[in-house]
Copies of this chain bind each other. A is one copy, B any other.
Amino acid sequence: MFKLISELYPICRSITGEGVRETLRILEGIVPIEITEVPTGKKVFDWVIPKEWNIKDAYIQNMEGEKIIDFQTLNLHVLNYSSPVNETVNLEDLKKHLYTVQEWPEWVPYRTSYYAEKWGFCMSHNQMESLKDEKYQVVVDSTLSQGHLTYGEVYIKGKVPDEILISTHICHPSLCNDNLTGIAVCANLARHLLKTDNYYSYRFLFVPGTIGAIAWLALNEKKLKLIKYGLVTSLLGLDNVFTYKRTRSGNTTIDKIVEHVIKKETTNPEIIDFIPYGYDERQYCSPGINLNMGNLTRVPYAQYPEYHTSADNMDLISQIALEDSLSIFIKILRFIEQDRKYLNLFPKGEPQLGKRGLYDHIGGHNDSKTLQMALLWILNFSDGIHTISDVAIRSGIDIDIMAEATEMLFKAGLLKKL
């Protein structure tokens, strides 16, 4: 994953344009992705797909002909979605188009202007302070024109059409934790699911933030009823506490599963209630859509100093954190796969396990072996109400042991699939 991120890092992504296409092409090397192009001007709910933005070059050159900042070195230097410009301006006018971050004077901020046409540059606060009062040539060699918004989907068909949705945003340029770690983990999670036999169907969305999610929702509104629940994710590369933001309802199955997994498997996880701010859960959880989508990250949204600056680079993240994040997602998927109901066919008293070879014959000692306990838990709660995941969470027994016990009971004819 770290290697994939280093390959994606230099690309100048935005909500539209070649950067997104190149990113999705690279992901195709990992999983088959279906790419959708939505034309400029297309109405998607209350929004309209904007002009496609592409950029070849951008720089500020001083009177000595020296490029004091250069898009080729760091694509954050240009205001993302900057309209083209080629002018000579004095320092005072230049400053009206400069963005810095005063609290971290050495870092270059990431700024965007998608829906108001402006030109602009981002630089470190220190550099801005040191600018001499002279004339500067400002060049942004970009285009804003009819084109498309591009997003990618990976659909993995399971035994049932009911879908689990996992969404990550792909619109940020050279920023690592936000958003390349989300992309890398999601691509590898999809690859993992392609190799396993899945009960549920899974859909991964690689979409530009806000407008991409809205476009996908608008174009797929009729299919939304198939979605049981899902997760929005990103910020997975820091060795920090897992942070789960609940769904809008706050007590759905995905909430119970994720909270259980991160409490059991990670240290000091943070769990917060839904707020209508953050990533694309804003769109998925809007009142007219109201999907049960939680948000799982390794740090609360925007709550790290490097967020949206040049310091969110390859040095910030680690392969260990990425692998850790992936393994937690895989654990979550194990619970999701067991989010199914069975019916105990011998519900009056316990069925006699001994005669079916499912119970120790020498009684009297404290036979609390986990697998035997799993059998009892599943039999007692396979009542048409509880799923195997519910019982795993309630009993605290590992989900893999629960799956094994379910299979044993099913094979012994004690359970019926619901």
Contacts and interface: CB of A to CB of B under 8 A. Distances in A.
A210 B286 CA distance: 49
A417 interface: no
Q: Which residue, of A217, A273, A347, has the highest number of chain B Cβ atoms within 10 A?
A: A347
A99 B285 contact: no
B112 A347 contact: no
A115 B355 contact: yes
Contacts of A395: 275
A347 B286 contact: yes
A361 interface: yes
Interface in A329-383: 344, 346-352, 354-355, 361-366, 368, 373, 376-377, 379-383
B277 A111 contact: no
Interface in A285-313: 285-290, 302, 307-308
Nearest to A288: B347
A248 interface: yes
Nearest to A303: B366
A45 B115 contact: no
Contacts of A347: 286-289
A380 B308 CA distance: 25
A194 interface: no
Given A276-B379, A395-B275, A99 B302 contact: no
A349 to B, nearest CB: 4
A77 interface: no
Contact of A248 (B248, B355, B361, B380): B380
B276 A380 contact: yes
A92 to B, nearest CB: 19
21 contacts: A44-B349, A46-B346, A46-B351, A112-B362, A112-B363, A115-B361, A116-B361, A116-B362, A118-B362, A217-B349, A218-B348, A221-B348, A276-B376, A276-B379, A277-B376, A282-B350, A286-B347, A288-B346, A289-B348, A289-B349, A308-B364
* In the A-B complex, the 10 residue pairs with the closest CB atoms: A288-B347, A276-B380, A287-B383, A288-B348, A116-B361, A214-B349, A111-B364, A46-B351, A287-B347, A276-B376
Interface of A: 44-47, 80, 99, 109-116, 118, 210, 213-214, 217-218, 221, 248, 273, 275-277, 282-283, 285-290, 302, 307-308, 344, 346-352, 354-355, 361-366, 368, 373, 376-377, 379-383, 394-395
